[in-house]
Amino acid sequence: MIDAAWTDAVLAVVALGAGFRLLRHGAGAATAGVGLFLVGVAAVFGVVRFSGVDTLAPTHWGVSRLASLVGVPLVGVGWATEIGWPDRAQQVRPYAFVLLLVAAVALIAVPLYGTVIGALGMGLVAMASLVVLRRAPMVAAFGLLGASGVAVSGLVILGEGSMGPLSRVAWFHLALAGSFALLGEGLVRFSRARVAAEAPRGD
């Protein structure tokens, strides 16, 4: 599936780029950055696998499950802590990561768990977006659209077969890339505004 390979490359570039941007901002933004970095790493493995290296399929599956069970919910935790508790985000991050990682290892073979934890993660994004809807409507729009896009990607688009000129897997990659781009940009904007508001002002 060559279309799955190049679309996974698009997803890798978007997720890694957004992840590195968020990591530079600290607080909850960095937590979301870790999540997107995991997604990007999984996409890199996907590029190699879908380019014809079938022996990488088991490894790609495992890394992808790690990205969906740990990376995606970390994005939600990042949004929630950046907007709700930025002063505690750094302390929350390791606990959230370890908890999600332990749960992922224990439940990695349970298909329904991925749906539930992903929904919870995007639910956190949606709730955080609604909190800032009035004071930062553009950030809220990015968050709500991005969270909806991730949900639609997993529940509606992903599957066997094709949709028009591309496979459903390829459309899934592109939909995730667009969604994560929105989530990354929205949180970067909020983080910049928060830091600017907290900066001391001269007389």
Question: What pTM did the predictor assign?
Answer: 0.92
| CA atoms within 13 A of residue 9's CA, in its CB half-sphere | 10
Report, as an integer, the average pLDDT of 174-194: 95
Share of the chain above pLDDT 70, in %: 97
Map out the domains of the chain as residue ranges. 2-198
Q: How many Cβ atoms from other residues are within 10 Å of residue 133's Cβ?
A: 13
As a whole number of angstroms, the distance between CA 14 and CA 9 comes to 9
pLDDT of residue 199: 64
pLDDT of residue 195: 77
Does residue 200 register a pLDDT over 70? no
Q: How many Cβ atoms from other residues are within 10 Å of residue 37's Cβ?
A: 20
Most confident residue range from 14-23, 25-34, 86-95, 164-173: 14-23
pLDDT digits (tens, 9 = 90+) for 23-80: 998 788 999 999 999 999 999 999 999 999 989 999 999 999 999 999 999 999 999 9
